[in-house]
Structure formats: structure tokens, C-alpha cells
Amino acid sequence: MKQFIDFIPLLLFFIVTKLDPRVIEIAGHELSFGGIYSATAVLIISSIVVYGAIFISQRKLEKSQWLTLIACLVFGGLTLAFHSETFLKWKAPVVNWLFALVFIGSHFIGDRLLIKRIMGHALTLPEPVWVRLNVAWIVFFLFCGAANLFVAFTFQDYWVDFKVFGSLGMTVLFLIGQGIYLSRHLHDTASTTPKTED
């Protein structure tokens, strides 16, 4: 459910970019609606509404949600202020690389790897497996950032589609791969765990 809620602003952004620009009247004011710039405004507003509602209901936002919201406000705001979609094209690469940096930092800062902090309450795995998982997430975020950057500036007619569905597809494939990898190690862990007598 949380992943769907996080996806709402991006989906609205995609829909509005696909609309042919038209002039609409709101409270006596004429506004242009459709295309990249009004889609950016919709992205900013919907992100504030969605994450604001989450914050009000849960009294907090996860760090990843704060990062996503701040990046949306900064890069979306710069896109509108300078009327240049170049700023928005940098949002996904920068956010992905910041996530990678946080995962990298957990190898040197703190007593546990970030992936273990996230999943450790649900899984018991050998430390080398946690290390490999953390490295896999680092590589994944670095690759996603590079892929978004490449598509945004090489295939400019398709970068919005890739931003929404390409990134989602890469995430789903990665999570499936992680699930397969974990299932193998969970089986090994279960088979080697000594049984206690009642």
C-alpha cells in the first residue's frame, strides 16, 4: 500500500505530461494545463499533499520519503523557476545516487549495515549475506541513476515514460532477484538452525 501511495505523484506527473497543453479557467484566472511544466507543478503539489497526509496520520516520514519530497521541491522548483526541464531530468539520478551514498556510508558509519537495519527485524542472515545485499543495493541505485541520466539526455522523447515505468520495472526485477537470492539463504539458515526441545 505504501509503495502505491508513493507512486501517486509520479503517476499524476506522467498523466499531465501526456495531455496536450490547453488553457483552463480557475476562479477567473486562465492557466495553461498539460505538458512538462504544468506536470511539474502537479508533481510538487501532489507530493506535498501525499507526504503531508502521511506525516499528519503517522506523525513522521521515513528518511527516504523526506529525501524524495525535498528533491521534488528543489528540482521541480528550479524547473519552474528557470522554465527548463533539465533540472527535473537530474532529479532521479541525484536521488538514486544519494540513496547509494547512504548505503555506502553504512559500511563505515554505525554498527549495522543499512539493509540490516531495514530488514534485520524480519530476517536472520549470516553477516556476509548482509554485506552482499547491501552492496547489491548500492550497485542497483548507481545503475538506476546512470540509466535515468542516460535516457533523459539521449532519448528525450521517452525520458518521462522511463522515469515512471522504466524505474518501476527495474525495481520490480531487482526485488524479484533479491527474493530468489534470499530464499536460497533462508533455506540454508533454517536447515542449520538447531531445534530446541520443548
Could you report the per-residue pLDDT of 145-189, keeping only the tens digit for each?
A: 999 999 999 998 899 999 888 988 999 999 999 989 888 877 554
Q: Is 30 helix (H, G, I), strand (E, B) or coil?
A: strand
Residue 164 resides in a domain: yes
Where are the alpha helices (H) located in the chain, listed in sequence order? 2-18, 36-58, 63-82, 86-89, 91-105, 114-119, 127-154, 159-161, 167-192
- Give me the domain span that covers residue 124: 90-193
Residue 99 resides in a domain: yes
pTM for this predicted structure: 0.83
**pLDDT, position 49:** 95
**pLDDT, position 81:** 96
Question: Which has the higher per-residue pLDDT, 49 or 184?
Answer: 49
Q: Which of 182, 174, 92 is nearest to 138 (CA)?
A: 174
Same domain membership, residue 181 and residue 147: yes
Residue 150 resides in a domain: yes
Same domain membership, residue 62 and residue 18: yes
- Domain final residue pick, 35, 66, 82: 82
Q: What is the pLDDT of residues 26-39, one digit of tens each?
A: 766 666 778 899 99
Q: What is the pLDDT of residues 63-110, one digit of tens each?
A: 889 999 999 999 999 999 999 999 999 999 999 999 999 999 999 998
**pLDDT, position 2:** 57
- Domain final residue pick, 82, 116, 132: 82
Q: How far apart are CA 29 and CA 148, in angstroms?
A: 36
Is residue 127 scored above 80 in pLDDT? yes
Domain count, the chain: 2
Same domain membership, residue 182 and residue 94: yes
- Domain final residue pick, 62, 82, 102: 82
Residue 68 resides in a domain: yes
**pLDDT, position 3:** 58
Same domain membership, residue 95 and residue 185: yes
Question: Which has the higher per-residue pLDDT, 45 or 168?
Answer: 45
**pLDDT, position 77:** 96
Same domain membership, residue 180 and residue 112: yes
**pLDDT, position 197:** 43
